[in-house]
Amino acid sequence: MPGKNRKYEKPIFAVVFVLAILGFSGSGYLYYRIANNVIQNTTDLEKKVLELEDKNTALSQTLKTEQQKNGAFETQIGQIAGTVGKLDKLSKTDKELLQKYSKIYFLNENYVPEDLTSIPPDYLYEKDKDIKMHTKAFSYLQSLIVAAEDNSINLRIISAYRSFGEQSALKNTYAVIYGSGANKFSADQGYSEHQLGTAIDFTTVKLGANFTAFEKSDAYKWLSENAYKYGFVVSYPKGNAYYQFEPWHWRFVGKSLANMLHEENKYFYDVDQRTIDNYLINIFD
């Protein structure tokens, strides 16, 4: 190892120099033996130092290797923990919330959202009614209504959560009035998005129950341009295969999915269910 022996050259040179001087005296031989032992001991010491340095280098390399292994192991543990956390979160999220209903999937009479919140009267068209919606989706609805008001759009809610029984009674009423024509705008019980508690029927103070005029309102225009920012999408656009065009009916699907549908100019029922399911874990994020 070049350069490593230089620190020992001066002591050895000094010993040799002293030996040379003492060689002229009577005790030269004795001093020669002492000096020779010193040189030998110094050489042995140098070898031991070099051996220790080699061992230290090897230990340093071993330590570095182990540290790299530990780092990789910690990364794997982090990934596993993240996966477990996602699976736990997904297991606690209602899988019905992003299912396609409207003549495709069925909700039985026992299904009720995990938690329902009464919508404040100020947001309702009929203030004396008790209209509820999914508790976790309410804050998104509230943000949407406030943003609309900031743009001079006074949205009001005319309908939200409806139970299996309520939907059955409503459909029977429509069937009596409109006959088979009711199937064009009203879902049978168990097939209504309203049973999820995440679907909202909007109106305005001016329009009231005049749904036919909603399409041409400033409220619909604003919703079309902004509702996705708050996680809401129109369920039944023009040309859909399920019901007549319902510009007043909007469903909460979460910001991530709503944003994707907006960017790709697609509608909820246009997208494969497996693709939609990927957004379930983030529906309330």
Q: Report pLDDT digits (tens) over 87-111.
A: 576 567 789 999 998 777 788 888 9
60 and 138, same domain (yes or no): no
Mean pLDDT for 77-84 is 53
Which H/E stretch holds residue 116?
strand 116-118
151 part of a folded domain: yes
Domain of 126, CATH number, reads 3.30.1380.10
12 and 104, same domain (yes or no): no
31 part of a folded domain: yes
Secondary structure class of 137 (helix, strand, coil) = helix
Q: Which residue has the higher pLDDT, 47 or 267?
A: 267
Residues spanned by the domain of 157: 95-282
1 part of a folded domain: no
Mean pLDDT for 134-155 is 97
13 and 115, same domain (yes or no): no
211 and 198, same domain (yes or no): yes
116 and 248, same domain (yes or no): yes
**Domain end: 43, 73, 90, which one?**
90
102 and 183, same domain (yes or no): yes
Q: How confident is residue 24, by pLDDT bands cut at 50, 70 and 90?
A: very low
Query: Total domain count for the chain?
Result: 2
Tell me the DSSP string of 52-91: HHHHHHHHHHHHHHHHHHHHHHHHHHHHHHHHHHHHHHHH
Q: Provide the β-strand partners of residue 155.
A: 204
**Domain end: 52, 71, 90, which one?**
90
Q: How confident is residue 188, by pLDDT bands cut at 50, 70 and 90?
A: confident
Q: Are 103 and 88 in contact (CB under 8 A)?
A: no
